[in-house]
């Protein structure tokens, strides 16, 4: 069946490739053939190869409520977190529809990961009871709908490391259980199959660790053991997806002075960036080098991402409690440009991920 009657499929595909991601739900609703076409992995690959893809920074961000005076004896309510989406190219902000049945917002301290055209929200704490959640929610940018995934196995786990290969799998490692015992275990979620798999344990316990994925490896950075509460390690270890095994622990992976938790992001070429106090740092080989100073109003960094161009997007605030803002660092001239801000999207950011669709 033709994609568009009386039009060559090559031309019809070109028309679909040129559409905005915001039109995907409408395209999916027109007919099954169009929905199947834009759902194919090749469609996303062709969009990226042709330069038609759009970059999105997706954040778990607190809703900004009107300022109100609190009387004596009243407490500040727990913020309601929702999904905000920033298009760094245009500076436009939007908000995704809420997860059905979650009127109190996203789980606190949940983790976000992107797989293809899906956003995956994993774990966190229930915003009302503060009990650990093993929930998995998936938002499809193709249909603009949420669905529930298979719950995270292995018992309660919070403050874990999480990253994806951007194509099929989400990796989870470390964190702690309900008794605050740091974990060595790791698991992998296949989004397409909606199935979890156990991975070999890491070489050491890692609570409140961070993670990135690049060059076919899931890199888990820092964290601390049960006995070393709050004494963050500067080590890292990497899981080779092809070999399905952890490599040797890397000592002194983090540079001296990098604050915790480290906010890191990997570029497509494998280079690793990190925000250290007021500096943007780059790991070149085994050495960390300062690239540029961070803008004053974003030095308390919540999230960062490296774009396909090599430019770096940083989201943060001047200090905790101040409005969140975004900046784009242009690697061609080493200059920062402040992204468009809106009061609605100045709330605190707990987690983020990067999509190119």
C-alpha 19/C-alpha 215 separation (Å) is 30
The pLDDT of 79-87, averaged and rounded, is: 97
Residue 240, preceding peptide bond in cis (omega within 30° of 0): no
Count of CB atoms situated within 10 Å of the CB of 327 = 21
**Residue 43: per-residue pLDDT:** 95
Phi, psi of 47, rounded to the nearest 5 degrees? -60, -45
The pLDDT of 4-23, averaged and rounded, is: 92
**Residue 74: per-residue pLDDT:** 54
**Residue 341: per-residue pLDDT:** 85
Domain boundaries defined on the chain: 9-45, 96-257
pLDDT tens string 152-190: 999 999 999 999 999 999 999 999 999 999 999 999 999
> Which one, of 188, 187, 227, lies nearest residue 204 by Cα?
227
Q: Reply yes or no on whether the pLDDT at 210 is more than 60.
A: yes
**Residue 69: per-residue pLDDT:** 43
Q: Return the percentage of the chain with pLDDT > 90, whole number.
A: 84
The pLDDT of 206-218, averaged and rounded, is: 95
**Residue 226: per-residue pLDDT:** 96
> Which one, of 208, 123, 215, lies nearest residue 165 by Cα?
215
Q: Reply yes or no on whether the pLDDT at 72 is more than 80.
A: no
Q: Reply yes or no on whether the pLDDT at 277 is more than 90.
A: no
Query: What's the alpha-carbon Rg for the chain, to the nearest Å?
Result: 21
The top-level CATH class assigned to 96-257 is: mainly beta
**Residue 84: per-residue pLDDT:** 98
**Residue 66: per-residue pLDDT:** 61
Q: Reply yes or no on whether the pLDDT at 255 is more than 80.
A: no
Q: What is the dihedral of CA 298, 301, 306, 307, to 10 degrees?
A: -50
* DSSP per-residue string spanning 70-83: PPTT--PPPPPEEE
**What is the band of 332 on the pLDDT scale with cuts at 50, 70, 90?**
very high
Mean residue pLDDT across the chain: 93
The pLDDT of 311-330, averaged and rounded, is: 96
Helix, strand, coil share of the chain (percent; to 5):
15, 40, 50
Q: Reply yes or no on whether the pLDDT at 357 is more than 50.
A: yes
Q: For the ranges 61-70, 125-134, 138-147, 343-352, which has the lowest average pLDDT?
A: 61-70
The pLDDT of 107-131, averaged and rounded, is: 97
Count of CB atoms situated within 10 Å of the CB of 101 = 8
Length of the chain counted residue by residue: 357
**Residue 87: per-residue pLDDT:** 97
The pLDDT of 65-74, averaged and rounded, is: 52
> Which one, of 300, 303, 254, lies nearest residue 281 by Cα?
254
**Residue 121: per-residue pLDDT:** 98
Helix (H) or strand (E) segment spanning residue 115:
strand 111-115
**What is the band of 145 on the pLDDT scale with cuts at 50, 70, 90?**
very high
Q: Reply yes or no on whether the pLDDT at 250 is more than 60.
A: yes
C-alpha 199/C-alpha 186 separation (Å) is 5
Q: Reply yes or no on whether the pLDDT at 80 is more than 70.
A: yes
pLDDT tens string 103-113: 999 999 999 99
**Residue 6: per-residue pLDDT:** 83
Residue with tokens 């790991």: 283
**What is the band of 75 on the pLDDT scale with cuts at 50, 70, 90?**
low
Residue of higher predicted confidence among 137 and 72: 137
Q: For the ranges 26-30, 67-71, 107-111, 340-344, which has the lowest average pLDDT?
A: 67-71
> Which one, of 168, 175, 185, 186, lies nearest residue 224 by Cα?
175
**Residue 70: per-residue pLDDT:** 43
Residue 261, preceding peptide bond in cis (omega within 30° of 0): yes
Q: Reply yes or no on whether the pLDDT at 302 is more than 80.
A: yes
> Which one, of 87, 120, 125, 89, lies nearest residue 109 by Cα?
125
């Amino acid at each position: 069946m033709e994609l568009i009657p009386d039009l060559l499929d090559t031309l019809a595909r070109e028309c679909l490739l040129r559409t905005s991601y915001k039109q995907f739900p409408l395209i999916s609703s027109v007919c099954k053939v169009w929905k199947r076409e834009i759902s194919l992995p090749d469609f996303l690959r062709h969009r990226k190869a042709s330069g038609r893809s759009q970059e999105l920074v997706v954040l778990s961000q607190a809703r900004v409520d009107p300022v109100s005076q609190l009387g004596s004896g009243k407490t500040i309510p727990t913020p309601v977190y929702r999904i905000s989406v920033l298009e760094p190219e245009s500076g436009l902000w939007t908000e995704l529809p809420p997860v059905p049945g979650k009127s109190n917002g996203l789980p606190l301290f949940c983790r976000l990961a992107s797989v293809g055209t899906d956003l995956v929200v994993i774990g966190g704490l229930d915003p009302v009871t503060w009990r650990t959640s093993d929930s998995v929610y998936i938002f499809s940018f193709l249909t603009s709908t949420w669905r529930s995934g298979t719950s995270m196995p292995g018992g309660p786990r919070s403050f874990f490391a999480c990253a994806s290969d951007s194509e099929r799998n989400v990796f989870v490692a470390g964190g702690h259980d309900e008794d605050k015992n740091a974990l060595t275990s790791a698991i992998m979620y296949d989004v397409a199959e909606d199935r979890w798999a156990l991975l070999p344990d890491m070489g050491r316990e890692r609570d409140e660790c961070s993670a990135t994925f690049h060059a076919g490896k899931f890199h888990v950075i820092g964290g601390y053991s049960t006995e070393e509460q709050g004494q963050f390690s500067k080590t890292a270890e990497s899981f080779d997806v092809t070999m399905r095994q952890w490599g040797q622990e890397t000592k002194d992976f983090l540079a001296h002075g990098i604050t915790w938790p480290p906010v890191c992001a990997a570029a497509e070429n494998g280079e690793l960036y990190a925000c250290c106090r007021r500096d943007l740092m780059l790991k070149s080989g085994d050495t960390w080098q300062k690239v540029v100073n961070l803008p004053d109003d974003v030095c308390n960094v919540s999230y960062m991402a490296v774009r396909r161009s090599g430019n770096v997007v940083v989201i943060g605030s001047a200090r905790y409690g101040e409005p969140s803002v975004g900046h784009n660092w242009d690697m061609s001239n080493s200059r920062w440009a402040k992204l468009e801000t809106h009061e609605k999207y100045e709330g605190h950011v707990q987690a983020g991920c990067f999509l190119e669709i």
